[in-house]
Structure formats: C-alpha cells, structure tokens
Amino acid sequence: MRAMRGLGRITGAAAAIALTAGLVAPAGAAPVDYDIDSAHSLQVVVNKHRKLAPETYVPDRLTRVQSERLQAAAAEAFQGMTRAARADGVHIVPVSGYRSYAEQASLYDSYVRQYGQETADTIAARPGHSEHQTGLAMDVGNADGACALQDCFEGTPVGDWVRKNAHRHGFIVRYPEDRQEWTGYAYEPWHLRYVGPQLVAELRADAAAEGSAELDTLEEYFGLGPAPDYPAG
Ligand SMILES: [Zn+2]
C-alpha cells in the first residue's frame, strides 16, 4: 500500500486495486492528481525540505476569521467548522492563521534569540517554510486559553472536538503524535491544516484500509520521505 500511496495519485493497476477495495469512485472518474508543489494549491506540501516558491509567496485572497486571516476557501470551511462546534457547545478560537514571510521571520528570529536555533527549529518554521504562510493553517485555542499551544491542549474541549471532527470540514491535524521524524514537528494538536474534503476522505479511506486509527502524514501519503530537519548548508 505504501508504494501505491507513494505515487501521490491513483493510476493504472493501483487504481484497479483501489477500486476493488472500494476506495475510489467507480470507473470514469478521473484519477486525482493533486498539485502539492504550487504555493497556491490547496494541497501544497510545505515542510523543512519543501520551501514555498516564491519564498515570499502571498495568497491572492485572504479572508478575515475574527482577528486572523485564511485563504478564502479555508476561511469558509473554518467558519463552518466553528458553527458546527458551537452547536456541540464548543467554542473554537482562532489563535494564529496566515502569517506573512516577514511575520514568520520575526517570529522565528525571536525564538532563535530566546532558545537558540536548534530549539527554535523544533517550534517555529523558518520563513518560506511555514504552512501559516500559505493561509491554509490555523492554530486554534479555547476561549479561556487552556493549554494554549501545549500538549495538554488535546484534552481540552476544543482539542478533543477538533481531533474528532475537523476532518468533516476539510482540515487535518497536520503534526500528529509520534510523527516528528516525518513532519519535522512534535505533536501539535492545535495546528489545523485545510487540505479540502476530497483529500481528507482519501487519507481516511487509506487509514481505514490499513486498519489504522491514525491518518498518514502528507509526507507519507505523497511518498515524499521524512523531513525531520532542514537540509545542511
Ligand atoms: Zn501552527
């Protein structure tokens, strides 16, 4: 299965296997070929090995989400998710969405000054390498600030709700537990990434086919290889 997913698309013999397994739409449906390279793609994969191009990329349409901003499609999905959570009595607070190259540079530099570069690299992306710069990522919190940007966030009302429900709105928890070797980041139960409903459905179908409760990371799913650190030099 890993080789099939490694193609980043479903074609040929793999499509036949996937079809038999009930993972994809019946014959006639075009195989999905995601654009994971273009900065403007909703499925762009950015990590320590994959810098945005251009590195100063700015999304075309940024939409306000309270005090934060997201790309229009992600913003709309986020608002829908917020409403659904409200209906369950959970109040999702957008904490940090789009950040420009300059804002990311300033954030990263402040961490370097505070903790040194090695530690800074584990908690904030270098400018040009942040999902926040795509306008597709949002850090969320609880209204009372409980466990903000900490591991224990998972056990808070918002942490628990997004873990169970964010997928219904096209979002994934981008940096899952125990996947730092792949993503370059420790568990961040607050960092949600919009990838759209189709890719989420595929990630879930793939996990279900493997009998796993956890989704593959984007690095694993698209066969990109682990990106634990920045390349040397
Ligand atoms: Zn984040």
- Phi and psi dihedrals of 80, rounded to 5? -65, -40
Distance set, CA 197 to CA 116, 131, 153 (Å): 38, 18, 25
- Report whether pLDDT(132) > 80: yes
Average pLDDT, stretch 6-26? 45
Residues whose beta carbons lie less than 5 angstroms from ion ligand 1: 139, 191
Summarize pLDDT for 173-230 with one digit per residue, the tens. 999 999 999 999 999 999 999 999 999 999 999 999 999 999 999 999 999 999 999 9
- Report whether pLDDT(28) > 50: no
Mean pLDDT, the chain, rounded, equals: 90
What does the block give as tokens for 216? 């593959």
Judge residue 105's burial from the number of C-beta atoms within 10 Å of its C-beta, 0-12 exposed, 13-18 middle, 19 or more buried: middle
Q: Which numeric CATH code is attached to 39-98+131-221? A: 3.30.1380.10
The β-bridge partners of 191 are 139
229 CA from centroid of ligand 1 (Å): 17
Q: What's the CA gap between 91 and 75, in Å, rounded? A: 16
- What's the pLDDT at 221? 96
140 CA from centroid of ligand 1 (Å): 8
% the chain with pLDDT above 70: 86
188 is catalytic: yes
Q: What's the CA gap between 179 and 190, in Å, rounded? A: 15
Q: What's the CA gap between 211 and 95, in Å, rounded? A: 34
- What's the pLDDT at 232? 87
158 CA from centroid of ligand 1 (Å): 15
Yes or no: say if 215 and 192 are a contact pair by the CB < 8 Å rule. Answer: no
- What's the pLDDT at 193? 98
Place of tokens 């306000």: 64
- Report whether pLDDT(4) > 90: no
Residue type present at position 79: Q
- What's the pLDDT at 31? 57
The residue among 105 and 19 whose pLDDT is bigger is: 105
- Report whether pLDDT(78) > 50: yes
What does the block give as tokens for 114? 């505070």
- Report whether pLDDT(32) > 90: no
- What's the pLDDT at 30? 52
Q: Which of 131, 154, 188, 220 is catalytic?
A: 188
87 CA from centroid of ligand 1 (Å): 25
The residue among 4 and 127 whose pLDDT is bigger is: 127
Summarize pLDDT for 137-176 with one digit per residue, the tens. 999 999 999 999 999 999 999 999 999 999 999 999 999 9
Residue ranges, comma separated, of all CATH 3.30.1380.10 domains in the chain are: 39-98+131-221
Query: Over the chain, what HEC string results?
Result: CHHHHHCCECCHHHHHHHHHCCCCCCCCCCCCECCCCCCCCCCCCCECCECCCCCCCCCCCEEEECCEEEEHHHHHHHHHHHHHHHHCCCCEEEEECCCCHHHHHHHHHHHHHHHCHHHHHHHCCCCCCCHHHHCCEEEEEECCCCCCCCHHHHHCHHHHHHHHHHHHHCEEECCCCCCHHHHCCCCCCCEEEECCHHHHHHHHHHHHHCCCCCCCCHHHHCCCCCCCCCCCC
- Report whether pLDDT(23) > 90: no
